[in-house]
Structure 1
Amino acid sequence: MLFSNCNAVKNDYKKGKTMTGLVYPIGTPGKKWEAEEKAAWLAKQTIERSYLEEVVTKLEPLKKSLELVQYGALSYDVEKYPLYAVKSLEWDLSKPTILVTGGVHGYETSGVHGAIKFLETEVQNYSRAFNIVVAPCVSPWGYEIINRWNPNTVDPNRSFYKDSPSEESAALMQFVASLGVSITAHIDLHETTDSDESEFRPALAARDGIEYDADIIPDGFYLVGDTENPMDAFQKSIIESVRKVTHIAPADAEGNIIGEPLTQEGVINYATKALGLCSGFTDCTYATTTEVYPDSPLVNDDECNNAQVAAITGALNYIKSVM
């Protein structure tokens, strides 16, 4: 979605239209979805790509220098959707432990492949200083369907809390708890895409029976920190690292990114724990959520993956500098 047509989108929706000229095709405006609407939504989903072929096959070669751990499988299909994490081998309880997650929203491709690229190219440069554990694709069903929800119309990235309704979130939390270590930093890799406005946020509004209020998709990379623990210098270090790879998202005309005021260039804050976000489920000192914009005409897939890697290394370099 281009910046210039955002107001038109808002006006069209208030006239009973979305970007495609139609009200969201499932449900009744103003009414929350029940089982019938959720089933109708699920019936419309189709497999677009293979998790086993595109993700798991890239993890197998890593076993030569890293530990590959299966920490569960999704009940939707336990054969198709095993859940994997990768751990550095030089595990030492005296070292800080770093958690990297990707694909919490399965459709956000560079989060998955950026995490894998970090494992392929950079992890050994940091494994002496840190214990590193990476869960590259938390939501493999979402990866295949190219969606942010799971089959139950639940958003895993709003479900990181006790008795989570999301299998994906619950499995990751249980796995991290089983490590028996404190997490020093958590870098959660995400994307903001044009489809957030053309599909996912309209679907969310329809599911919850509320009015869809269109927003501007920022053109560039940005971060989401924690309102309760912002760690501004840490976030700035990541921004400076990513700046070498891709452009940083500017604020909109109101000084915001996705409706939130900037705390510094390229950084906004959310109440991550209260919202059940992945980056907020540990009590780590340093936490951030990356947001790459893959639909920008200024980037390609490789640059998006490289931006995720640069975010991780920028975070780790900062932590090393203050240890």
Structure 2
Amino acid sequence: MMYPIGQPGRAWSNEERAQWLSRQSVKRSYEQEVLGKVHALEGRFDVCSYGELIYGPDRYPLRALKSRQWSQDRPTVLVTGGVHGYETSGVHGALLFALEEAAEFEGRVNLLIAPCVSPWGYERIHRWNADAVDPNRSFVADSPAQEAAALMRFIARFSEQILVHIDLHETTDTDESEFRPALAARDGKRFEPGSIPDGFYTVGNSEQPELAFQSAIIEAVSRVTHIAPADENGEIIGSEVVSPGVILLPYRKLGLCAGMTDARFATTTEVYPDSERATPEQCNRAQVAAVRGGIEYALTAG
């Protein structure tokens, strides 16, 4: 597949990045669809400002929800969504959990919820930020992504307490039709076609997999939507399926959000919103079930 920007075998220069940026347009409102829901929860949570994204004339305030009854003696659960802004259920699943389920864990855990890490990408329904950088490969020292750097600074003060980190994502058909070809073009590499799994799966940390934790999430989600099967090679997106619906990747090596803390229990969820077998509501509910299932397991095991 020939991507419309750049030359084969040559990584993008600033000229190609500017050309790519000129093709992006606002398709939905972060202020109305996300910030409005965050501030509607002020009666239940402390709403924390943890920075602002600045892209030219555009300004995006960054907000997180924090338990009001915070205790140093309780474990902390971190929920992140919208690290890839186009992955809608990650954002709205996190908000739905805060609205409907969080109260059940009051007094048992501290909650930190950052529902939309990449608002520029949310508005443009895009994986990257305005610099054509993938935030979910940027949770590293001296991060090239404003989104990742801001979240890491905010979370650093809580990091020693964090027992659970659940990072909510989606795998979409546009991964194969747009984002993987764009990545290959940006980096001057050849695009290798892949496949999109039909169903929910999780990505655990290959250095600390906690497979029983991953399986507990799969079990909880299976009551809401279907779980992605392995392909003919026993893989999902090119990685070995180590347990039904579970693959492993090296979080820290790849700069993934789920590896930004030393949480014992960490996972990246992946919902498939383009499935004929799942509705947007099911996708949101699957994310909620993943968070709930992960917390319940960790409180038992931890």
- Please say whether Structure 1 and Structure 2 have the same fold, judged by a TM-score greater than 0.5: yes
Equivalent residue of 2:253, what SS? coil
Q: Quote the residue 2:218 is aligned against.
A: 239
Cα root mean square deviation, aligned:
1.1
Query: Is the alpha carbon distance of 1:131 and 1:78 closer, same or farther for their aligned partners in structure 2, counting shifts above 3 Å?
Result: farther
* TM superposition shift of 1:79: 6.8
* Unaligned runs of at least 5 residues, structure 2: none
2:64 aligned residue (62, 78, 85)? 85
Give me the whole-angstrom Cα distance separating, in 1, the residues matched to 2:216 and 2:85. Answer: 27
Give me the whole-angstrom Cα distance separating, in 1, the residues matched to 2:49 and 2:281. Answer: 27
Deviations 1:60-119 (A, max 9, x none): 110011111111110116874100000111100010011000000000000000000000
Say if 2:212 is the partner of 1:257. no
1:100 aligned residue (57, 79, 82)? 79
Query: Normalising by structure 1, what TM-score?
Result: 0.92
Deviating above 3 A after TM superposition, structure 1's stretches of 4 or more consecutive aligned residues are: 77-80
1:151 aligned residue (120, 127, 130)? 130
* TM superposition shift of 1:215: 0.7
Equivalent residue of 2:72, what SS? coil
Equivalent residue of 1:165, what SS? coil
Equivalent residue of 2:149, what SS? helix
2:150 aligned residue (171, 182, 186)? 171
Which AA in structure 2 matches 1:173?
Answer: M
1:274 aligned residue (235, 238, 253)? 253
Equivalent residue of 1:225, what SS? strand
1:124 aligned residue (76, 88, 103)? 103
1:234 touches 1:286 (CA, 8 Å); kept in 2?
yes
- Greater shift, 313-322 or 202-211, is seen at 313-322
Which AA in structure 1 matches 2:229?
Answer: P
2:159 touches 2:261 (CA, 8 Å); kept in 1?
no
Give me the whole-angstrom Cα distance separating, in 1, the residues matched to 2:226 and 2:159. Answer: 38
Q: Quote the residue 2:28 is aligned against.
A: 49
Deviations 1:173-215 (A, max 9, x none): 0000133643111000000000000000000000000011111
* Unaligned runs of at least 5 residues, structure 1: 1-17
- Greater shift, 58-67 or 234-243, is seen at 58-67
- Count of paired positions: 302
* TM superposition shift of 1:281: 1.1
Indicate the percent of aligned positions where both proteins have the same amino acid: 55
2:51 touches 2:61 (CA, 8 Å); kept in 1?
yes
Q: Quote the residue 1:14 is aligned against.
A: none
Mapping 1:276-291, distance limit 5 Å: 276-291=255-270
Which AA in structure 2 matches 1:92?
Answer: S
Mapping 1:11-22, distance limit 5 Å: 18=1
Query: Is the alpha carbon distance of 1:226 and 1:300 closer, same or farther for their aligned partners in structure 2, counting shifts above 3 Å?
Result: same
Give me the whole-angstrom Cα distance separating, in 2, the residues matched to 1:127 and 1:274. Answer: 34
Query: Normalising by structure 2, what TM-score?
Result: 0.98
Give me the whole-angstrom Cα distance separating, in 2, the residues matched to 1:77 and 1:122. Answer: 38
